[in-house]
Chains A and B, each alone.
Chain A
Amino acid sequence: MNTLPWLLELIIALFILIGALVALLGSIGLARLPDFYMRLHGPTKASTLGVGCTLIGSLLYFSFLTEGISVQEAIITLFLFVTAPASAHMMAKAALHRRVRCVDKTLNVPWKDQ
Chain B
Amino acid sequence: MIALVIPLALTLFSLGILLNLYRLLIGPDITDRILALDTLMINSIAVIVLADIQMQLGILFEAAMLIALMGFVGTVAMTKYLLRGDVIE
Contact = CB atoms under 8 A, between A and B. Distances in A.
A75 B65 contact: yes
Interface residues of B, number: 49
B49 A55 contact: yes
B46 A30 contact: no
Contacts of A21: 12
Interface of B: 1-2, 4-6, 8-9, 12-13, 15-17, 19-20, 22-23, 28-32, 34-36, 38-39, 42-43, 45-46, 49-50, 52-53, 56, 58, 61-62, 64-65, 68-69, 72, 75-76, 79-80, 82-83
Interface of B is mostly: helix
Given A6-B1, A19-B9, A90-B75, A95 B19 contact: no
B6 A16 contact: yes
A54 to B, nearest CB: 5
Interface in A1-17: 1, 4, 6, 9-10, 12-13, 16-17
